[in-house]
Structure 1
Amino acid sequence: MSTRLSIGEFSRLTHLSVRSLRRHHEAGLLVPATVDPATGYRYYTGEQIPTAQVIHRLRELDVPLAAVQRILDAADPGARADLVAEHLHRLEAELDRTRAAVRSLRRLLAPEPAPVRVEVRAVAATSVAAIEADVALDDVLSWYAGAMAELDAALPVLVGPPGGVYDNALFEVGRGHVLVHRPVDDPPRTGRVHPVELPAVELAVATHVGDHDDIEVTYGEVGSWVVANALQVAGPVRETYLVGPRDTDDASAWRTEIGWPVFSVATGPGQSASGSAP
């Protein structure tokens, strides 16, 4: 017969607080071996220690109680491993987002941030093969991946770097028109791919270096330069992916041009605005 352990003894052995043990009992997650009907005291056995330790580790990883219950109830070791892996993937994604936020804050709060070079560039009208749709901001990355894969299949020969045109509403209200494209002299029509003529435009252009986790900082720096130079934004943002995940796994080597269509406050839309800044 197993030796009974008081809740205090069991707490010390498993590093689960008495309060946590009581909560797990109430939730049906870790039920004491016996409960004294007269005193209400909870007693556990040594055989319950491994289960308690598993619960302790899962809760340290912020696994919700309901998910902990599903893991404990899974009879098949493979099913248990899959449930744990699913939560670990979520944790890794959250960790990536946290690291990205830290990098952005460090860049924003640097006492002497490295200046971003901005130039005004006249871009001629360009024929491209494109895929476009109205997309929610949260879905842009997955939509882009699918659209670009379809463009790659339709255009096996690379002519120039791919790009995207992003409607202002995408950032302002969380949903807007997105167009991804690849330059080509004779754009085909196949599936969602169709020809588009991107109009001539003057862009305030800066190059974002590295992955896109802190690309909004570069956006802000371009915007500050536009304001400081008495320019106005005149259309959807253009991005050109000079080097990206399709080219190398080394995120530090990625280069993304951010182009804001602009016009001079003095001259108005459709008239020339030129210049550059370090």
Structure 2
Amino acid sequence: MFKIGEFSKLTQVSVRMLRYYDETGLLKPAEVNKYTGYRMYSSKQIPTLNKILFLRDTGFTVLEIDNALKHWDADYIEKQLKIKEKETEENINLENQKLSKIRTAMSDINKKQIAIHCNATLKSIPSYEVLSLRKIIPNYFCEGNLWKELCDYIRTEKLNISENNYSFAIYHDKEYKDKDVDVEVCIISNQKGINRGNFTFHKTEPLEKVACSMVYGTYENISPTYKSFVHWLEENNQYEITGISRQVCHKGPWNESDPNKYLTEIQIPVKSREKL
């Protein structure tokens, strides 16, 4: 048996952490001296300690570690690791987005371009016959998965629809959402077909008047352009928003290798305010 200090030195785990694992119930001492109160540890506890350290270093919380120790078998641990792998990938994507925003901001500060002004034009949008795919997706950055699914469906079903046809995305939520967003991707189709699941042939609503703004460059420029519509609507207060927005990607990864040359069109339906 080893005193806590000895066990700490031999296992390379601090006394503070060993006491913490005791308090949380992850690793209780093998015994506690009833006269001195000293925590005593056994070499038989090292495999459990190694499991705790492994799970801690892969991002598991105390509760998750406790559950894993209680259900320690290959199938359960593999399932939990896959869940943690997905969470880690999502966190990496979020951190990369933050890094990209930081670098963009630094570049904009140097160029004195941090304020983006909206040059909106007004036009009408006709009704289109489309094949569309509408789903609730985790966030706006997952929209590309919908486009891939739609294109794969066109190829699998051998539909006479060119992937180069005019296409656009409709954002059905009336407000911005951080997750679980309702997005529909549409591609113009000159043929009718049978609706299957979320894949539907239908006619989109015509829009009498939309405020449109072109976004040049990477997709990171889209968010500040939306914000710039606030200034445009204040300056043109005879208009108010009357519907859900659309986006048309004229140049993207499929037809332009340089992200700085991407071209996205934001379309926001508006109407004239009623005169009092």
Q: TM-score, normalised by structure 1?
A: 0.69
Q: Is the 8 A contact 1:204 1:262 kept in 2?
A: no
1:199 aligns with 2:196: no
**Structure 1 position 237, deviation (Å):** 0.9
**Structure 1 position 13, deviation (Å):** 3.9
Counterparts of 2:86 and 2:257 in 1: how far apart (Å)?
Answer: 20
Q: Report the counterpart of residue 275 of structure 1 in structure 2.
A: none
1:39 aligns with 2:47: no
Counterparts of 1:209 and 1:229 in 2: how far apart (Å)?
Answer: 26
Q: Give the root-mean-square deviation of aligned CA atoms.
A: 4.2
Aligned residue pairs total 262
Q: Is the 8 A contact 1:160 1:183 kept in 2?
A: yes
Q: Report the counterpart of residue 247 of structure 2 in structure 1.
A: 239
Q: Is the 8 A contact 2:130 2:203 kept in 1?
A: yes
Counterparts of 1:251 and 1:55 in 2: how far apart (Å)?
Answer: 44
Q: In structure 2, the residue corresponding to 1:193 is in which secondary structure? A: strand
**Structure 1 position 238, deviation (Å):** 0.9
Q: Can you list the C-alpha shifts for 1:218-250, whole angstroms capped at 9, x where unaligned?
A: 321344344445554343211113355677998
Alignment of 1:63-102 (within 5 A): 63-73=60-70, 75-77=72-74, 79-102=76-99
Q: Report the counterpart of residue 157 of structure 1 in structure 2.
A: 162
**Structure 1 position 62, deviation (Å):** 3.8
Counterparts of 1:96 and 1:207 in 2: how far apart (Å)?
Answer: 23
**Structure 1 position 125, deviation (Å):** 0.8
Alignment of 1:153-192 (within 5 A): 153-154=153-154, 155=159, 156-167=161-172, 169-171=174-176, 178-191=183-196, 192=199
Q: Which amino acid aligns with 1:206?
A: M
Q: In structure 1, the residue corresponding to 2:25 is in which secondary structure? A: coil
Q: Is the 8 A contact 1:15 1:56 kept in 2?
A: no
Q: Can you list the C-alpha shifts for 1:24-82, whole angstroms capped at 9, x where unaligned?
A: 23443223233223333212234534542442353344411222134345554464344
Q: Which runs of 5+ in 2 are unaligned?
A: none
Q: Report the counterpart of residue 274 of structure 1 in structure 2.
A: none
Q: Is the 8 A contact 2:217 2:263 kept in 1?
A: yes
Q: Which runs of 5+ in 1 are unaligned?
A: 269-278
Q: Report the counterpart of residue 272 of structure 1 in structure 2.
A: none
2:228 to 221, 232, 237: 221
Q: In structure 2, the residue corresponding to 1:171 is in which secondary structure? A: coil
